[in-house]
Amino acid sequence: MTRQYTSLQMFIAGAWCAGGTGRTAPVIDPATEEVIGQVPLATTGDLDRAVDAAVAGFEAWRSTPIARRTAVLRAAADLLTERADHVGRVMTLEQGKPLPEARGEALRVADALRWHADDARRAYGRIIPSADDTVLSVRREPVGPVAAFVPWNFPAGSPMRKISAALAAGCSIVIKASEETPGTACEIVRCFQEAGVPDGALNLVFGEPAEVSAHLIASPAVRLVAFTGSIPVGKLLAARAGAEMKPTLMELGGHAPVIVCADADPVTAARRAAKAKFVNAGQVCTSPSRFLVHESLIEDFTAEFVRAADAIVVGNGLDDGVTMGPMANERRVKAMEDLVVDAVSRGAEVVRGGGRLDRAGYFFAPTVLTGVPGDARVMVEEPFGPIAPITAFTDLDDALKTANALPYGLAAYGFTRSSATAERLVRGFDAGILSINHCGGSVHEAPSGGFKESGHGREGGPEGLEGYLVTKRVSHLLED
């Protein structure tokens, strides 16, 4: 095992543990295909202990004064900031992204935790004037123990979005992090443990995803289900939660269109779009993934996009100068190969990349496709990888129809020099996360979430706390 990696255990009721049966799954470095660790897999008994701990932890944490809760969360954020280099290295080893990206992710989630901690102080209720001798009030309270499930693409970002909002609201949480990237989650939980989060308020488990989700969702003690991941799995979990009449927060997949209008600067648009496309090897739910470029600009846009792709340095994320690491696993490489083969069979041209790199690890070349027809799989299925399909349009209304034609509605991007056209794009896109003249993703100060099959609920901003709170209306008749 690689000495730079970390200890992998579950965290239940304030203690680290290996699980009831000792079952494990290998953790693989995607840059070398070497096994670097073994992650423990929970039994149903482990999950029951985690839920019982969350029930007790909820009572302790919700009763903690907000000033103390904020101090504990801020202390955890400070510890994570101090350890960003180490956490980043763990993240790169298990997920593959370049070390500067990984370290930056650790620092960003520490800031997100600080933001949520402070925002919890503003979860106000209100007093409503009444027509009689009653005092009518509205109070906001934590919903209760949360079951959360997160993927592998942002090993720090995805868990922290759930943990920070839940704990800031006063909830307890049982979180199942990805078995492919468990080390980062362990490092994050250590920060909370050392900062003084009460036993049981935060519990970390790993296991067979279907088994864990089914068991936790069915538990009567779990009051909220929060999930980030694919649309098919999100629908399954939402259905299970619905059968138990439990609320859900669903941050699901997307297929973000980029519309480059006739009045845009094609070179600037290509540079900014390409930079966003190849971050995390394109394994981002908000990644720009369909490029609709006005026919008058497509030649210049494509040329600059290709130059940007050529400048990408693909390699082991621990090596200096690398700007794009491997795909997370062999499944993703095979998915990229299939998408390219399909697009070419339908008439697309591969102008850069198009295949895996001939080396150990799950490396796929930054890929640019042109002349991609609308029925190609890469235009209708979320690619979740470093493939950029570029196609021309003539009429902006037609481009918007194309952008909105899919069942996705997470992110969308537009480039224009006109404020009127920008507003037309904002009004026209069916998406919950919009960026004009750049391809910025989610930020912790503002809400992120999708339309249509891309999910419901929001993460980030004051809206991100809403899902973890319940509203009480209190009518108090005053008597002598």
pLDDT digits (tens, 9 = 90+) for 411-423: 999 999 999 999 9
Query: Does position 303 have pLDDT exceeding 70, yes or no?
Result: yes
Residue-wise pLDDT for 461-478, tens only, equals 999 999 999 999 999 998
Of the candidates 261, 43, 75, 223, the residue with the CA atom closest to the CA atom of residue 145:
223
Rounded Cα distance, 151 and 90, in Å? 16
Tokens of 25: 């799954």
Residue-wise pLDDT for 273-283, tens only, equals 999 999 999 99
Domains of the chain, with CATH numbers? 10-252+453-473 (3.40.605.10), 256-444 (3.40.309.10)
Rounded Cα distance, 266 and 437, in Å? 11
Rounded Cα distance, 232 and 240, in Å? 13
Measure CA 153 to chain center.
7
DSSP 221: T
Rounded Cα distance, 52 and 48, in Å? 6
Tokens 């990206």 -> residue: 101
* E strand spans, 48-133: 126-128
Residue-wise pLDDT for 158-197, tens only, equals 999 999 999 999 999 999 999 999 999 999 999 999 999 9
CA distances from 295 to 129, 261, 273, 291, 292 (A): 60, 9, 17, 12, 9
Q: pLDDT grade, residue 358 (50/70/90)?
A: very high
Tokens 């519990």 -> residue: 203
One-letter amino acid for residue 434 of the chain:
L
Helix ranges restricted to H, 313-455 = 330-345, 377-380, 396-404, 419-428
Query: Which residues lie closer than 8 Å to 86 by C-beta, 6 or more apart?
Result: 187
Q: List the catalytic residues.
A: 251, 285
Q: In the predicted model, what is the mean pLDDT of residues 426-448?
A: 95
Q: In the predicted model, what is the mean pLDDT of residues 441-470?
A: 94
Residues of the chain above pLDDT 70, percent:
99
Residue-wise pLDDT for 58-106, tens only, equals 999 999 999 999 999 999 999 999 999 999 999 999 999 999 999 999 9
User: Do residues 37 and 1 make contact, with C-beta atoms less than 8 angstroms apart?
Assistant: yes
User: Do residues 287 and 276 make contact, with C-beta atoms less than 8 angstroms apart?
Assistant: yes
Using DSSP, state whether 371 is helix, strand or coil. coil
Residue-wise pLDDT for 136-150, tens only, equals 999 999 999 999 999
Calculate the average pLDDT of the chain: 96
Tokens of 23: 């079952």
CA distances from 160 to 26, 105, 166, 237, 252 (A): 23, 11, 10, 20, 16
- pLDDT of 1 reads 39
Rounded Cα distance, 442 and 77, in Å? 19
Q: Give just the sign of the alpha carbon dihedral 309, 312, 315, 317.
A: negative
The Cα angle at residue 304 between residues 303 and 310, in degrees rounded to 5: 90
- pLDDT of 2 reads 44
Rounded Cα distance, 147 and 127, in Å? 32
Rounded Cα distance, 134 and 128, in Å? 10
The Cα angle at residue 274 between residues 301 and 428, in degrees rounded to 5: 75
Query: Does position 3 have pLDDT exceeding 70, yes or no?
Result: no
DSSP 184: H
> pTM of the prediction?
0.95
Using DSSP, state whether 270 is helix, strand or coil. helix
